[in-house]
Amino acid sequence: MLVALAATGCALMARRRSAARNAKADEVFLNETEHRFKEVFDLSCVAMAWGDMRTRRLVRVNGPYCAFTGYSERELLDMPHEELSSSEDGVAQTVLFAPPVKRGEDSFSDEKRYVRKDGAIAWGHRTITVIRENGEPRYVFAIVEDITESKRAREQIDHMAQYDALTGLFNRAIFQMRLMQAAGEAKEKPAAVLYVDLDHFKEINDTLGHAAGDALLVQIAARLRSSVSPGDIVSRFGGDEFAILQFARSQPEESADLADRILRRLSKPFELEGQTVTVGASIGIALSGEACGQPDEMLKKADIALYAAKASGRGVHRHFECEMEERLRARQQLKADLRVALAQKQFEIEFQPIVSLRDDSVSSFEALLRWRHPTKGRISPAEFIPVAEETRDIIAIGAWVVEQACLAAASWPPHVTVAVNISPRQFGDRTLPLRVAAALGKAALNPARLTLEITESVLLHDTQANLALLRDLRALGVRIALDDFGSGYSSLAYIRQFDFDKIKIDRSFISDLVESPHSLSIVRAVMGIGRSLNLAITAEGVETALQLDAIRAEGCDEAQGFLISSSLAARDVAPFLNRFAAGAAAEIRIPPALAEAAGG
């Protein structure tokens, strides 16, 4: 309406002189219209400006236009109109005096950034009408609506659609879009995807709270940003998952350098609400080109490499290799097979004797799990137990082992005990003591005849809860042994935390006992601890008579290893005991015949 009125008004003003030559009645009418138009122009709350296309200057502006631009009317009429334009708008700045209109369509509108007098940017939606004189464009009349607020809101929404709200990094959608572009330009511009995964983030989130977790993610984002080169894309995919798209020519060197830089920076402590926390990270890398043409493929490969990085001890980076994919596939297959193995009765338990060096008798057997895979044959527990831990199948499998071991031991002579390995994951099952009690009850086995072997990793996380669980187990009357002693990080700290009944020295110390003075002093030190804390010490992995002599000389209580026997099928336990009692009682240099009889 305003536009129409303005157009009429303008046209009339422009034709003023010719109109003056017309009849008096007409002149009265014109003056009246002109007057009304002036009134609308001056009193309107909408910003309006009026420009001369020949001088390219504004000739009239109203109050709202002054308010919108921050300049006075005088300033606006004196200054070149271009000064109001933002350089970001390019051609838009000249459009006012040369609007792209065709004959018969003398009005057009656009959105434009105005640079206000105070330097701030204001967005205007302007409608420009061309006023013709004798058919030729002569004046422009602009109505400008302030749309700064809605423009900002829209920008914010656009920003939210592209960026992660917490860290301000690009989100996954944008990352994937850029990756898609990168894949198209891989020849000229090689790219690498680095998948970064934090270690122990969940624990920090759980113990310090989500606000601290968020603050940590923000700091991590800053460290990542400062590690990359200009042009690289850093993105948060959600949670503690970050990805980087690196553009660099010399691969794999440059992505390896970047990964090292990131790992170094992320390993430095973070300050969170007065607390110092450390997080590690693992990084998987896939390079464009090679087999990784497609964006999805690249992400998948970086993910597989990340998995391999985590598996090889964390705090490291790995580049994708085809074998990784095969290994992962094999592992996934193993997981699936493992899920049905218990129900399909593919597990067996073998028993490896442990000999007391006090009276050279068999004191106990360690239950060792065996998996007879229907197609792959025997699979080592060292291979499948970590998988069962990952899938938590170990909880059901472990309970089955305890039950079977108790049932077997119930048929042995009463002085012979049984040892069962309990994995750290089984401690996640708070009903473990109940399961153990049920197994003992079912077999009617004296709890003192059951030893549970745990490794110190049980005391690495959730320490208090796991210690409580250990005490509950002990309260049943079973014995607790610390397995693989010396192979972990800070074994001495752990024997202070719980009153173990027994320590098993890791076989890595026994294997080079005779040659290495270092191992000998460690074994000697462990013996000393055992004596002073009144703990029994078992040497694992005794393979030679020389090793047996050495541990005997050091005062070790028990020996276990291939020299005595490898693990036996349940039905071979009784014959072994008989043969051992008959043949080896006098001479614990285990008769070769016995070791052979034990088989593999």
Q: Which is nearer to ligand C2E, 235 or 423 (CB)?
A: 423
| Of the residues 298, 368, 437, 526, which one makes contact with ligand C2E according to CB under 6 A | 368
Report CA Rg, the chain: 41
114-126 burial, b at 16+ Cβ within 10 Å, e below that, comes to bbeeeeeebbbeb
Q: Give residue number: closest CB to ligand C2E.
A: 561
Instruction: Please give the span between the terminal C-alpha atoms of the chain, in angstroms, as a whole number.
Output: 98
* Least Cβ distance, residue 386 to Ca ion (angstroms): 15
Q: Can you read off the two tokens belonging to residue 122?
A: 């204001």
Name every residue whose Cβ is closer than 8 Å to that of residue 367 and which is 6 or more positions away in sequence. Answer: 349, 350, 351, 401, 404, 405, 408, 418, 419, 420, 421
Q: Does 428 bind ligand C2E (CB under 6 A)?
A: no
Site for Ca ion in 525-554 (CB under 5 A): 540
Q: How far apart are CA 496 and CA 503, in angstroms?
A: 13
Q: In angstroms, give the least distance from the CB of 508 to Ca ion.
A: 10
Instruction: List the 233-238 sheet strands across, edge first.
Output: 233-238, 241-247, 191-199, 280-287, 317-319
Using left for φ > 0, alpha for ψ between -120 and 50, and beta otherwise, residue 42 falls in alpha
* Binding-site member from 543, 544, 583, 591 for ligand C2E (CB under 6 A): 543
- Which two three-digit tokens encode residue 227? 């590690």
Nearer to ligand C2E, 352 or 417 (CB): 352
**Which 284-323 residues touch Ca ion, going by CB under 5 A?**
none
Helix (H) or strand (E) holding 421: strand 417-421
Site for ligand C2E in 448-467 (CB under 6 A): 453
Please tell me whether residue 401 binds ligand C2E under the rule CB under 6 A. yes
CA dist 257 and 264 (Å) reads: 11
Measured distance CA(574)–CA(423) in Å, rounded: 28
Contact 333, 383 (CB under 8 A): no
CB closer to ligand C2E out of 233 and 590 = 590
Residue 163 binds ligand C2E, judged by CB under 6 A: no
Does 403 bind Ca ion (CB under 5 A)? Our answer is: no
Considering CB distances under 5 to 8 angstroms, the limit depending on partner class, which of Ca ion, ligand C2E, none binds residue 562?
Answer: ligand C2E
d(CA 112, CA 121): 10
Stretch in the footprint of Ca ion (CB under 5 A) among 100-108, 241-249, 417-425, 437-445: 417-425
Window of 8-16, 112-120, 163-171, 364-372 that interacts with ligand C2E by CB under 6 A? 364-372
171 scored as a contact of Ca ion (CB under 5 A): no
Q: Is the peptide bond before 137 cis (omega within 30 degrees of 0)?
A: no
Residues of span 545-564 touching ligand C2E by CB under 6 A: 560-562
- Of the candidate residues 129, 417, 423, 538, the single one contacting ligand C2E (CB under 6 A): 423
Q: How far is the CB of 369 from ligand C2E (least distance, A)?
A: 4
Contacts of 427 (CB under 8 A, 6+ apart): 458, 462, 465, 466, 469
Determine if 488 is a binding residue for ligand C2E (CB under 6 A).
Answer: no
Piece of the chain touching Ca ion by CB under 5 A; list 270-278, 321-329, 377-385, 420-428:
420-428
Instruction: Report in angstroms the alpha-carbon separations of 459 from 429, 455, 466, 491.
Output: 15, 8, 7, 10
In the complex, minimum distance from the CB of residue 567 to ligand C2E, in angstroms, rounded to a whole number:
5
Q: Does 421 bind Ca ion (CB under 5 A)?
A: yes
C-beta closer to Ca ion: residue 389 or 484: 484
CA distance 554 to 536: 13
Burial class (CB in 10 A: 0-12, 13-18, 19+), 417: buried
Q: How far apart are CA 517 and CA 533, in angstroms?
A: 24
- x/- binding map, residues 483-522, to Ca ion, per CB under 5 A? xx--------------------------------------
Given the structure tokens 């959730």, which residue do they identify? 462
- Is residue 382 within the footprint of ligand C2E (CB under 6 A)? yes
Among residues 69, 127, 129, 352, the one that binds ligand C2E under rule CB under 6 A: 352
Q: Which does 423 bind (CB under 5 to 8 A by kind): Ca ion, ligand C2E, none?
A: ligand C2E
Binding of ligand C2E by 400 (CB under 6 A): no
Q: Smallest distance from the beta carbon of 408 to ligand C2E, in angstroms?
A: 13
Interface with Ca ion (CB under 5 A): 421, 453, 483-484, 540
Interface with ligand C2E (CB under 6 A): 352, 367-369, 380-382, 385, 398, 401, 421-423, 453, 483-484, 507, 541-543, 560-562, 567
